[in-house]
């Protein structure tokens, strides 16, 4: 069984740009790299001045280039390519080497909160050692073993979420229902799923409850 770990892993790459917008929150959507090319981080930015942030990106020594891929009223999707300095300070090579799979990665000027799937405890120790080598703070928040759970009439789901609950949660997430402010109405999601709003509301509540029970409420430390 793999392990799910939640941890703080120090300052983010691109911290200089974030200092210009201290309330900015970055949520990683994807990390890409072709052979012998710098890593590209694709992330949503929200909660601060986008123009100030973009100006600061041009002066950040860890960033060689950036693009704004999508503009929405309350958030924007960016792609940044790391500079040589950024490459030297990112933890992504260790994640690739150790087969660590990111689940969520949130960056602020204060630091990085990472949730990932780890093949073993030694992979977590290797990540911790790399953080120390780069003079990055490391703190394990919680850790639990990923186990199958029998739900939905015998259907196996590692988070205890049924297929219908998963469909409702994913649809709500993709439509921006969980954003602040919300970018869609529950009625619109219910219409798309061809269910009533009361059924959708119940699926969202039960799905979130299952996720919390099998993630944050099921933690242990090492």
Give backbone dihedrals phi and psi of 107, rounded to 5 degrees, phi first.
-120, 135
pLDDT at 151: 47
| Averaged pLDDT of the chain | 87
pLDDT recorded at residue 113: 94
User: What are the beta bridge partners of residue 178?
Assistant: none
Q: What is the reported pLDDT for 217?
A: 66
Write the DSSP string, 8-70: E--SPTTHHHHHTSTT-EEEEEEEE--TTS--EEEEEEESS-HHHHHHHHTT-TTEEEEEEEE
More reliable by pLDDT, 150 or 54: 54
- The reported pLDDT for the residue numbered 180 is 84
pLDDT digits (tens, 9 = 90+) for 6-35: 999 999 889 999 999 999 999 999 998 877
Provide the pLDDT for residue 152: 43
b or e along 199-209 (b: 16 or more beta carbons within 10 Å of the residue's beta carbon)? Answer: ebeebbebbbe
Q: What number is the average pLDDT over the span 92-105?
A: 92
| pLDDT value of residue 182 | 87
Helix, strand, coil proportions of the chain in percent (round to 5)? 35, 30, 35
Interval 155-180: pLDDT, tens: 445 667 787 888 899 999 999 999 98
Q: 152's torsion region: left (phi>0), alpha (psi -120 to 50) or beta? A: left
For the chain, domain boundaries: 3-145, 149-218
Could you tell me the pTM of the whole model?
A: 0.67
Phi, psi of 130 (to 5 degrees): -65, -40
């Amino acid at each position: 069984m793999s392990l799910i770990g939640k941890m703080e892993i120090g300052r983010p790459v691109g911290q200089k740009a974030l200092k210009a917008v201290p309330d900015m929150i970055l949520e990683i959507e994807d990390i890409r790299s072709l052979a012998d090319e710098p890593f590209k981080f694709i992330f949503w930015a929200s909660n601060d001045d986008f123009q100030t942030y973009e100006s600061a990106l041009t002066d950040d020594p860890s960033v060689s280039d950036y693009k704004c891929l999508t503009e929405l009223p309350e958030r924007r999707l960016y792609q940044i390519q790391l500079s040589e300095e950024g490459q030297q300070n990112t933890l992504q090579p260790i994640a690739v080497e150790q087969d660590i799979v990111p689940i969520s990665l949130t960056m602020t000027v204060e630091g990085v909160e990472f949730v990932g799937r780890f093949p073993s405890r030694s992979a977590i120790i290797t990540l911790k050692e790399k953080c120390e080598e780069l003079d990055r703070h490391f703190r394990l928040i919680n850790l639990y073993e990923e186990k199958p759970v029998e739900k939905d009439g015998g259907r196996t789901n590692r988070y205890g979420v049924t297929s219908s609950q998963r469909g409702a949660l994913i649809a709500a997430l993709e439509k921006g229902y969980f954003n602040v402010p919300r970018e869609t109405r529950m009625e619109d999601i219910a219409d798309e799923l061809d269910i009533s709003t009361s059924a959708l509301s119940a699926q969202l509540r039960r799905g979130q409850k299952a996720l919390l029970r099998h993630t944050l409420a099921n933690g242990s430390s090492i």
